Amino acid sequence: MAAMPSDPPDVPDTPAADLHPVPAHGRTRPRRRHVGRWVALGIVVVVVAVGVAVVLAVKGGLEARDALTSALDDVPTVEEALTGGDTAAAQQALDRVQEKTTKARRGTSGPVWAVAGSLPGIGADAKAFRTATRSVDDLAQDVLPPLVQASGIVDLSGLRAKDGGVDLGPLEKAAPLVASSADALTPVERDLGAIDTSTLRPQLGDPIASLQDKVRTLGSTVTTAHRATALLPPMLGADGTRTYLLLSLNNAELRSSGGIPGSITVLRAKGGKVTVVGNASSSDLGPWKQPVVDLGKDNTAVFGTQPARFPQDTTMLADFPDTGRTMAAMWKKAGHGDVDGVLATDPVALSHLLGVTGPVTVQAPTATGTTGVELTSDNAVDILLSQVYAEIDDPAEQDAFFSAAAGAVFDKLLHGDVPAADLQHALTQSADEHRLLVWSAHDDEQSLLDPTELSGALTSTDRGKHAVAVLLNDGTSGKMSYYLRTSTELTSSQCTGTTRSDVYTVTLRSEAPKDAQQNLPSYVTGEAAGVVKPGVIRTNVVVYTPQGVGVPVIERGKQTVGGDTDEVAGRTATQLTVDLSPGQKVTLRVTLLTPQAGDGKLELWTTPTTTTGGLAAVAPTSCTR
């Protein structure tokens, strides 16, 4: 019986043209359906893998978030323990922080997080979160440990003079540890600072912005500790004897840095001990017929060669390092040898220190001998800048009294039991007001001083180059600046196309008595010089723009006033003269057009007077192109 034919195979509903013929050698080509199956299977595998990766990434991210939050909560505990000098507690808290930051870093590591940082929509957040966890872990592993170790060697907050000196041994041991911490902090600050929190979701952007602020604060602390441990040992004579000049600036006759250097105190440091070894008057140095140093064409264009020939005019220079170098050259030319640095302070700064040390008694000359004068934080400015001229006629005796006052305060600081925290507050206040300035003849030390308030470096550092400055120099040739009241503030800031227009209001007012000619010594009114009518205060105002900003527009009332303008280190310096009769007030409007749009704070540098400090921060309007 013939076999029944089997059912024909199912034939896909495909056009005949798509059917594949059997090749002559008898093998068939792989069907496209097989390729499609493999592609589909591959897609499924990828999707599952991505899904698993996402789940793991989310899980790791949540764990990292919790660990990071807990770690950040513990960091202040480390700082408080360090501040309190409890090294053991600081180390215990640090151990907890390190465990948490390691966990946070592990939770955001791996290729998935690296890829996530480049994905649209979530890339910026993922990248920022990963950077934050890595940065905080670097902080815990590399920045804080050397600080904790250093705190076990020296307590900077408790550092004080004892028996006329400071024990430098602990400082020298701590210096490399603090330097290591500062080096490790640099990339952390850089990476965190590069995160633009405005592009992130608020849930992430706000905490990271807070983290940036905390790291900046820590950075300031670490930088200060680094400078202290790096500078104090050599400057206090750890490697050999150091000699310094301390200039007592007289705000009653203004100069850019504060006042003329009337008296000079010679200090000697060796092995941490500082002693007063001599006094001199600026009148003992020169004047010189030829400049003792080359001031450069920029300084000479603004001030001529006077600052390099007359010691009283050295502080006319806008850059205190220039003042220091010039004064050191005059000191050497007068036959007194080399110095390792120049410091400057004024009676207002002395009053801050007297608030810490308590009163000191200084001997003042009288017609029959001498008498003790008690200086306190309340009366020091008035006595040193006004009464001394009414009661002591001889300029040399006036300078001797100024030197004795500075020496008495300094001696009490070295030998008295002054709390370190109180002393630090007084010194910081003086530095913040630009009433305490330091220049070192040693380049490596000066490079550490340059970025600080202590340097007073307006034209030679990045910090100073980007500041606005309104500096004052007396033109009366007397001591009438004691009666001058000044203020400078940013009163308007607005965006105008591609520039920003900032308006600074400069006010000068005279509180000189109307009967100044009759009741003030001619030495004070400048009558002998014959420059102005007695009682008039003449002030030369110099406006320095930030680097890259052109000539300012200066208005007095409704009238635009001109001035002598010169280029100084890529910026402009415009100088004009203001005369004030007793009781008169003059207001200047200074408009600066900044060609680069942007935001952020600017520093405003001014000459410190008897009533106004010399450094302030201003916040212009934020502009975007």
Q: CA 83 → CA 148, 184, 213, 221, 230, distances in Å?
A: 10, 20, 19, 11, 20
**Residue 66 pLDDT greater than 70, yes or no:** no
Q: What is the bridge-based pairing of β-strands 602-606 and 468-474?
A: parallel
> What is the mean pLDDT of the segment spanning 571-596?
94
Instruction: Name the band, by pLDDT with cuts 50, 70 and 90, for residue 38.
Output: very low
Better-predicted residue by pLDDT, 111 or 212 = 212
Which amino acid would we find at residue 39?
Answer: V
pTM: 0.83
Instruction: Name the band, by pLDDT with cuts 50, 70 and 90, for residue 29.
Output: low
Both tokens of 266, joined, read 């010679």
Helix (H, G, I), strand (E, B) or coil at 359: coil
**Residue 450 pLDDT greater than 50, yes or no:** yes
Both tokens of 337, joined, read 């040898």
Residues near 139 by beta carbon (within 8 Å), at least 6 away in sequence: 75, 101, 185, 188, 215, 218
In DSSP notation, 168-193 reads: -HHHHHHHHHHHHHHHHHHHHHHHHH
What is the per-residue pLDDT across 180-207, written as a single tens digit (0 to 9) for each? 999 999 999 999 899 898 888 887 778 8
Name the one residue in this structure whose structure tokens are 């007396």: 474
Q: Using alpha carbons only, give the angle 605, 490, 427 rounded to the nearest 5 degrees.
A: 35
Burial of residue 366 (number of CB atoms within 10 Å: 0-12, 13-18, 19+): exposed
**Residue 121 pLDDT greater than 60, yes or no:** yes
223 with 229: CB under 8 angstroms?
A: no
**Residue 294 pLDDT greater than 70, yes or no:** yes
For residue 597, the model assigns a pLDDT of: 60
Helix (H, G, I), strand (E, B) or coil at 490: strand
Helix (H, G, I), strand (E, B) or coil at 544: strand
> What is the mean pLDDT of the segment spanning 211-219?
85
Instruction: Name the band, by pLDDT with cuts 50, 70 and 90, for residue 2.
Output: very low
Domains of the chain: 44-235 (no CATH), 242-440 (3.40.630.190), 466-618 (2.60.40)
What is the per-residue pLDDT across 70-116, written as a single tens digit (0 to 9) for each? 767 777 777 777 766 778 888 888 898 888 888 878 877 767 666 66
Residues near 198 by beta carbon (within 8 Å), at least 6 away in sequence: 205
Spatial separation of the C-alpha atoms in residues 426 and 405, rounded to whole Å: 17
Q: What are phi and psi of 484, to 5 degrees?
A: -90, 130
Q: What is the bridge-based pairing of β-strands 369-375 and 360-366?
A: antiparallel
Alpha-carbon 365 to chain mean position: 42
**Residue 63 pLDDT greater than 60, yes or no:** no
* Lowest mean pLDDT, pick from 191-195, 376-380, 442-446, 510-514: 191-195
Terminal Cα distance for the chain, rounded = 96
Neighbour count for residue 171 (Cβ, 10 Å): 24
**Residue 625 pLDDT greater than 60, yes or no:** no
For residue 417, the model assigns a pLDDT of: 76
For residue 61, the model assigns a pLDDT of: 46
Residues near 95 by beta carbon (within 8 Å), at least 6 away in sequence: none
What is the per-residue pLDDT across 392-404, written as a single tens digit (0 to 9) for each? 888 888 888 988 8
Q: What is the bridge-based pairing of β-strands 341-345 and 242-250?
A: parallel
Burial of residue 209 (number of CB atoms within 10 Å: 0-12, 13-18, 19+): middle
**Which alpha helices (H) appear in 271-417, and where do they start and end?**
296-303, 320-333, 347-357, 380-382, 388-391, 395-415
